[in-house]
Structure 1
C-alpha cells in the first residue's frame, strides 16, 4: 500500500469514527505502528488531523459533511480518479473546483500531493504551491487550513444540499479570475449534449468555470456516462480531458475521443 493510499484510508477512518488509535490503524492497514505514527505526524503537519497520545482525532469542521460526502469517501473509484486528476495539475497552477463528491476527493488529493515538499524549520511559513478557486463550502473549509494551498472562494448563496455557492455574487467573482485548469464534477455525460447537472444555477456556475479556464477536466465515474441531467453545462467541444474509471464503456470512450476529448481511465 502506497503512502497516498494509507493517508486516504486513515482519513476515511477519521471521517467514520472521529478518532483513531495507532495500533488499531496499524492492524487495519497491515503495517507497523511506527509507519502509522509517521503518517499521522505528517498529516498533522498539514493540518489534516490533530495528533493525540496514541492516535489522532479529526480536524475541526472539515469532516462534518453531509452523508453523501461521507459515503463517497468509501468509493475507491473516486479516489483513484482524484489521484489521476491531481497529476494533471502543475505547481503554480490556478485550479478551479466546483462542488460534488468527486471534486471533494480531488481537493483532498491535491492537498496530499502538494504536502511533501522538503525540510523546513519548525514554524517557518509555507509558500502556497497551488491556488484553488471554488464555490464549494466544504472544499474551501478543508483546504483553508492547508498552508501550501491558497484558497479563493467565490461568494454567493449557499445551496445546503450540495454546499455550493450560486447566484450573481458567484458569477461576479468568477468573471474576474483566470484559471489554468478547472476540474468539474458532473451528473451526466452525453456524446451529443455534452456534460450536465441536475440544478440550473449550479450548471451556470460550472459553465462559467469552464469559460474562465485554459483547460477543462471532467472528473466523473463511469456511471455518469450516457446519463442525461436537467441542466446542460457545456458541449464536449469545451472539454479537454475526461478522467473516469475502467468501467467506462469502450463505445462511449471512442465517441468521446472522436469528439476531441482525451480519455483517461484508472
Structure 2
C-alpha cells in the first residue's frame, strides 16, 4: 500500500471514529506499527490530526478532512446526488456553487447535460447556455474548458482544505450579482439548527450565495443529516430543496418536509 493510500485510510478512520490506535491501524492496513506511527507523525505535522499516546484523534468537536482525502467517501451517493441536483437547474439560469466533493459532482453533471452541451456538429452551444458562479477553484478548473458554461470565479483567499475562496474579496463580488439558484454543500444539517459547515469563512460565503438566490438547494449525503458543525450557514426557512441519498430516515425526511423543505432522496 502506498503512503498516500495509507494516509487516506488513516484520515478516513479518524473522520469516522474520531480517533485511531496505532496497533489497530497496523492490523487493518497490514503494515508495521512503526510505519503507522511515522504516518501519524507526518499527518500531525500537517495539522490534519492530533497525535496522542498510542494513536491520534480528530481536531476538536468537528472534523474536516482535506478535500483531496474526501473524494472517495460515499462516491456513488454523491454522484447520484449531483445528477439529481443538475436536473433542478434550467438552461439559461445563473447557478451559484460552493465547494466540496458533492458540489463538484453537481458541476460535473451540469457539464455533461445534453441540453447544455448541445450538438457540436450543428454549431449549437457556441454561446454560453448556463452561467456558474463559484468560489471553488477546483470546480472552476473543471468548468472553464466548457464553452457552453460561462464560469465566474469570486475573488478571495484560497483555503487549502477545500479549495474555496473566502474573505471580503469574495463577498464583494457576490454582493453585486443575483442568482437563480444556489447549490450549497454543507458538513451538517438538521431541522433544529439548519445548515452548518466547519469553517466560519466558508459559512459567510455560503450564506451570501443563499441570500442572492431565488432558490436554494442543499446537496448533502445522508451522513451529514443530524450532525453538528461549527459555523451556521442558514436556517431551513432559506432552503427550498434538500437533495440527499436513500440513507435518510423516514422520520428525518418528514421533519424536513414539515419545515417546508422539499426532500429528494436518490
Question: TM-score of the superposition, structure 2-length normalised?
Answer: 0.72
How far does residue 265 in structure 1 lie from its aligned partner after superposition?
0.5
Match in the other structure for 2:161: 161
Query: For the residues of structure 2 that align with 1:198 and 1:66, how far apart are their CA atoms?
Result: 13
Match in the other structure for 1:68: 69
What secondary structure does 2:196 align onto? strand
Task: Say whether 1:254 aligns with 2:251.
Answer: no
How far does residue 193 in structure 1 lie from its aligned partner after superposition?
0.8
What secondary structure does 1:260 align onto? coil
What secondary structure does 2:121 align onto? coil
Question: TM-score of the superposition, structure 1-length normalised?
Answer: 0.72
> Does structure 1 retain, via aligned residues, the 8 Å contact 2:117–2:148?
no
Higher Rg of the two aligned structures: 2
> Does structure 1 retain, via aligned residues, the 8 Å contact 2:129–2:148?
yes
Match in the other structure for 2:207: 207
What secondary structure does 2:72 align onto? helix
> Does structure 1 retain, via aligned residues, the 8 Å contact 2:188–2:227?
yes
| Residue 147 to residue 247, structure 1, CA distance change in 2 (3 Å) | same
How far does residue 217 in structure 1 lie from its aligned partner after superposition?
0.2
Match in the other structure for 2:27: none
> Does structure 2 retain, via aligned residues, the 8 Å contact 1:68–1:101?
no
What secondary structure does 2:112 align onto? helix
What secondary structure does 1:184 align onto? strand
How far does residue 117 in structure 1 lie from its aligned partner after superposition?
1.6
Aligned length: 200
Listed as ranges, the gaps of 5+ residues in structure 2 are 1-65
Listed as ranges, the gaps of 5+ residues in structure 1 are 1-64
1:59-86 deviation per Cα after TM superposition (whole angstroms, max 9, x unaligned): xxxxxx95335425x7110000000000
How far does residue 125 in structure 1 lie from its aligned partner after superposition?
7.2
Match in the other structure for 2:152: 152
Match in the other structure for 1:177: 177
Cα RMSD for the two superposed structures: 1.7
